[in-house]
Amino acid sequence: MKTTSTVPFIVDGHLDLATNAMTLNRDLTKSVNEIREKERHLGWKDYQDRGQGTVALPELREGNVGLVITTMISRYSENGSPLHTMALKGWHSPQQAYAHAQSQLAWYREMEALGEMVQINTKNGLSAHLKMWSESTVDIEKKPVGYILALEGADSIVNIDYLHRYHEMGLRSIGISHFGPPGRYAAGTHSDGSGLTSLGKELLKEMNKLDIQLDLTHLTDKGFFEALDIFQGPVVASHQNCRSLVPGERQFSDEQIRCILDRNGMIGGALDTWMLYPDFQLGKDDPKELDIRMENLVDHFDHICQMVGTSEHIGFGSDLDGLFGLEQTPHDMNTIADLQKFDAILIDRGYTQKDRDNIFSNNWIRTLNRILK
């Protein structure tokens, strides 16, 4: 199969590929349908999205999603479980959390060895990767998916020395919090009222010395403003929508969005239905019954564009493999390849070619170039 110039190149600012591979035991070199069928045949019920996943490497290529920011997730909790469960508990020591994160990094390295993926950590590397993906004469099956390495939750940074160790491994984006307490560096979603820890403030000061971006997603309101006071480098919200449209502390307020825009930051729109529909009940509501469509995300794009008067600060941070599947995805999506459908949706909503290019890739590429040397 060949790519064509009429198919937009897409950057996805947030995926959890290694968590799916190493915690959910999914061979992401197989197609989404193959993975679904295998899980259904095996009768696995340990995660809500078994048999309903939407992301794999073949579908990334099918959707011309040639560059992703993809995570390592490994949490610490004195009383937690070693599994990345829906309760999002964690390992019993930071060293265990680090070792688990390294198993996820090892998976990315294995994908590189197979030619399935390639790590991007320099401007030249990004430029060469984009040029290769633009070549319509190259079979898309032979194009590796580029990835920027990120941490979602910083618990596995054992101490400041490990921050530099991670940076040498290619880490270029860090979200210092995740869901709720505990958090060695900051409180996260569902723990509003708490903010950064003393370790978190120290970490942000050290991050100022590196070519790295701070992902503000999952910070509490208090932690958000504390972090912006300390960290002076590039900021993004990799998978974040607007609180004014869908209430709840998981979304950002207009004041927070303006702070990101004032710092020339990026906001990646997420496609999890509880972030697209007010009061969506996890595990109960049906996206089709509620008619939650991909277009719901464009409402959030519109809101941000109207705030700043330009389309230069929005893109995709789909989170489509964030431990949910079809049961928590807009009903007009089947796999991540359907991100291509946004081209027609955005045209219908009046977005120009330049706007669409910004949203699909240009904004993320410009933003990433700030942290690549």
- pLDDT at residue 80, rounded to an integer: 67
The single-letter DSSP state of residue 143 is P
Domain boundaries, the chain: 10-368
Cα–Cα distance for residue pair 61/67, rounded to 1 Å: 10
Residue 242 burial class via C-beta count within 10 angstroms: exposed 0-12, middle 13-18, buried 19 and up: buried
State the Cα angle at 237 between 93 and 81, rounded to 5°: 25
Alpha-carbon distances, residue 340 vs 10, 187, 243 (angstroms)? 8, 35, 26
Cα–Cα distance for residue pair 169/18, rounded to 1 Å: 15
Alpha-carbon distances, residue 29 vs 41, 253, 354 (angstroms)? 19, 38, 33
Largest CA distance in the chain: 54
- What H or E segment, with its residue span, contains residue 99? helix 94-113
- pLDDT at residue 136, rounded to an integer: 86
Q: Are residues 22 and 295 in contact, defined by beta-carbon separation less than 8 angstroms?
A: no
How would you classify the pairing of strands 266-269 and 314-316? Answer: parallel
Alpha-carbon distances, residue 127 vs 37, 132, 171, 195, 248 (angstroms)? 38, 9, 18, 38, 39
Closest CA to 76 of 162, 2, 185, 167: 185
- pLDDT at residue 26, rounded to an integer: 98
Q: Are residues 126 and 366 in contact, defined by beta-carbon separation less than 8 angstroms?
A: no
User: Token digits for 35?
Assistant: 């993975």
Q: Are residues 348 and 42 in contact, defined by beta-carbon separation less than 8 angstroms?
A: no
Residue 209 burial class via C-beta count within 10 angstroms: exposed 0-12, middle 13-18, buried 19 and up: exposed
Q: For the domain made up of 10-368, give the CATH fold.
A: TIM Barrel (3.20.20)
Which residues, other chains included, contact 286 with Cβ-Cβ below 8 Å and sequence gap of 6+?
Answer: 327
Which residues, other chains included, contact 19 with Cβ-Cβ below 8 Å and sequence gap of 6+?
Answer: 71, 73, 84, 104, 321, 323
Please state the separation of Cα 347 from the chain's center in Å: 25
Cα–Cα distance for residue pair 329/212, rounded to 1 Å: 31
Block means of pLDDT (10 residues each) for the chain, 373 residues, are 66 98 97 98 96 98 98 88 55 95 98 98 97 92 97 98 98 95 89 93 98 98 98 98 97 98 98 97 97 98 97 98 97 98 98 98 98 94
State the Cα angle at 20 between 339 and 276, rounded to 5°: 45
Tokens 């904004």 identify what position? 363
State the Cα angle at 122 between 94 and 113, rounded to 5°: 70
Q: Are residues 144 and 125 in contact, defined by beta-carbon separation less than 8 angstroms?
A: no
